[in-house]
Every structure is written in C-alpha cells, then in structure tokens.
Homo-oligomer: A and B are copies of this chain.
Amino acid sequence: MTALDTVLAYHHAWTGHDFDLAMRYLADDIVCEAPAGRIEGAAAFRDFMEPFSKTVTSSTLLSAFGDETTALLMYDTVTIPVPHAPGAELHTVENGRITHLRIIFDRLPFTQARNS
C-alpha cells in the first residue's frame, strides 16, 4: 500500500463510521496537530476525532494526492451541528500506519453552533 492508500483507507473508515477499522491505520504514537493544539497517541486522537465523526452525515472527498511517505487530502462534510464543514489533512505514513497528521478546519461555526 502507498501512503495515499493507507490514508484513503483511514478516511473511508472514519467517514463510514467504523472507527475501530480507522484505528488500524493509526500508529500508537501518532501525533496530530489540530487547530486547538497537539494531540499525542492513538487513544487521545480517537477521543478527538471519533465524536466528530459521529456527527458527520455525509462527506465528499474533494482532492487527494500522495508520495512515498505523505498524503494530502481535502474533503467536505455535512455534520449535524454545521451543514458545511470542510477539512484538509496532511499525513505522514510509516510502515502502513499514520504517524503524523496535521488537520485544518474552521472551528468558528462549531463554536457558534454550541453558543446558539
């Protein structure tokens, strides 16, 4: 599997609401740089990402590229609190597992939805 294959398998798993399957593509010591800060380890990452994934009612992969060790994705999601929540992710993959993930999304509409 290429880095992109691994990342797309992860992507399809979490957007398909199978986080147990998604976890198989994550390194135990994954480091994620998210808008709110750094998340270390697969368990902490699951605590961050799985609750969001459960709110996703549909998703569209807009673009996906990769090379030997990295993959870059942009996607759009429809979620329960926010009707239009696109994201971008830059992954580093080693031995078929995602070791580093930088994720960009707009937190503002989620904050507004919580406060409304």
Contact = CB atoms under 8 A, between A and B. Distances in A.
Contacts of A35: 106, 108
A109 to B, nearest CB: 8
A82 to B, nearest CB: 11
Contacts of A86: 102, 104
A96 interface: no
- The size bracket of the interface on A is 20 to 34
A111 interface: yes
- 4 closest A-B pairs by beta carbon, nearest first, are A88-B88, A65-B65, A107-B108, A35-B106
Interface of A: 35, 62-63, 65-67, 70, 72, 74, 86-88, 90, 102, 104-108, 111
29 contacts: A35-B106, A35-B108, A62-B90, A62-B102, A63-B70, A63-B72, A63-B90, A65-B65, A65-B67, A65-B72, A72-B72, A72-B74, A74-B88, A74-B102, A74-B104, A86-B102, A87-B104, A88-B88, A88-B104, A104-B104, A104-B105, A104-B106, A105-B106, A106-B106, A106-B107, A106-B108, A107-B108, A108-B108, A108-B111
